[in-house]
Amino acid sequence: MPALTLDDLRRYAIARSLFKPTTLPRALQRLGFVQADPLRAPARAQDLTLRHRVLDYRAGDLDKRYTKLPYEEDFFVNYGYVHRDTQALMHPREARHEWTPERWAQAADVLAYVRERGVVHPREVDAHFAHGKVTNWFGGSSNASTELLDGMHYRGLLRVARREGGTRLYAVREAAAAPVDRDVAFDRLIDLVVNKYAPLPATTLAQLTRFLGGGVPQWRAHRAEALHRARERLASAEVDGVQWFWPADEKPASKRHQAPEAVWLLAPFDPVVWDRPRFEHFWGWAYRFEAYTPAAKRLRGHYALPLLWREQVIGWANLKVTDGQLVPDLGFVDKRPRSAAFSQALDEELQRMHSFLGLG
């Protein structure tokens, strides 16, 4: 057997993640979970991620169909959409910071109010209880009721029933069936992460296991054991001086992993580019998400979308909509490819983006 190469791993990573577009339920099942972000530039990250993987997907389709899908908004390794079966593995969740008895009393009152109302908007809760203001993590001021609802959602007391103008509307989350064994649950969660992001460098596998501490903070003391079990059951190899891991039943060196002659504009949190150390291993340059970086210090732009051509990320694009038209601002690590094939593939990708955004 020939030695596994970095080229093999790169093709494998692209092929397994950018699978043939399918239905929304099937795409969500293959991905396992989808990271969410509220910024729209030109659309939210969850929509930008799904547009490559769902046939005829349009911005906002996930929210429109949310109430009919077996998926919930919740925190996993990051905030996003997870299947209810996955969510059940993480609850009952014990938050890192225990509430005071007074805070629990407030939560009990709000829970009774939500149960009576069915579905509530945060402003209804704020108007009814007048909890006042608190300092948020940005240093600004937020309604204390909004923070309380966030905490109740995180602890599994509430669920997101739907969104209205981007705002989460809450309902009571009824207790699920009895949780499975802790180690079994932790192993399933790690396997889901690996399935989403494989192949993973060893450092990223360890990092994602730490990130799971946000989804299951009650198991923080057991992360090392879970990571050890994962390393034992996953396939692995050292390539280019790095230890890599992937699902044991997959073959990274398969000749079937061939990137088509196409251009993809990827969300900053797309699984192909999410792992920044892997990104640098694969493509030899550093990509950073700069939306929260002061404008004067940005290198690529406010919401630069990595530009994947065939199997190489060769640049980025910042997109905006002006007078109903999509306006791309492209940048390249080296020079823009001069081939007619690239120009055609880029035009086709921009047309797909145009349709996805519902322009014209």
Per-residue pLDDT of the chain (360 residues; tens, 9 = 90+): 578 999 999 999 999 999 999 999 999 999 999 999 999 999 999 999 999 999 999 999 999 999 999 999 999 999 999 999 999 999 999 988 899 999 999 999 999 999 999 999 999 999 998 765 555 444 554 578 889 999 999 999 999 999 998 999 999 998 776 678 999 999 999 999 999 999 999 999 999 999 999 999 999 999 999 999 999 999 999 999 999 999 999 999 988 888 888 999 999 999 999 999 999 999 999 999 999 999 999 999 999 999 999 999 999 999 999 999 999 999 999 999 999 999 999 999 999 999 999 997
Query: Does residue 219 lie within any of the structural domains?
Result: no
Query: Does residue 326 lie within any of the structural domains?
Result: yes
Query: Does residue 258 lie within any of the structural domains?
Result: no
Phi-psi region of 206 (alpha: psi -120 to 50; beta: other; left: phi over 0): alpha
Give the 3-state secondary structure of 295-330: HHHCCCCCCCEEEEECCEEEEEEEEEEECCEEEEEE
Q: What are phi and psi of 163, to 5 degrees?
A: -120, 150
Query: Does residue 222 lie within any of the structural domains?
Result: no
Q: Which amino acid is at 184?
A: V
How many whole angstroms separate alpha carbon 356 and alpha carbon 58?
4
Segments forming the whole domain that contains residue 343: 263-356
193's tokens? 């992460």
Query: Does residue 60 lie within any of the structural domains?
Result: no
Q: What is the CATH number of the domain that holds 137?
A: 1.10.10.10
Using the 3D structure, point to which of 131, 153, 172 is the last residue of a domain: 172
Query: Does residue 295 lie within any of the structural domains?
Result: yes
C-alpha distances in Å from residue 240, one per residue of 4, 6, 17, 237, 243: 9, 7, 22, 10, 8
Query: Does residue 200 lie within any of the structural domains?
Result: no
Query: Does residue 114 lie within any of the structural domains?
Result: yes
Number of domains composing the chain = 2
What pTM was computed for the model? 0.93
271's tokens? 């699984």
Using the 3D structure, point to which of 147, 172, 197 is the last residue of a domain: 172
Cβ neighbours, 10 Å, residue 236: 16
Burial of 247 (0-12, 13-18, 19+ CB in 10 A): middle
Using the 3D structure, point to which of 122, 143, 172 is the last residue of a domain: 172
Helix, strand, coil abundance in the chain, percent, nearest 5:
40, 20, 35
Q: Which residues contact 7 (CB under 8 A, 6 or more apart)?
A: 311
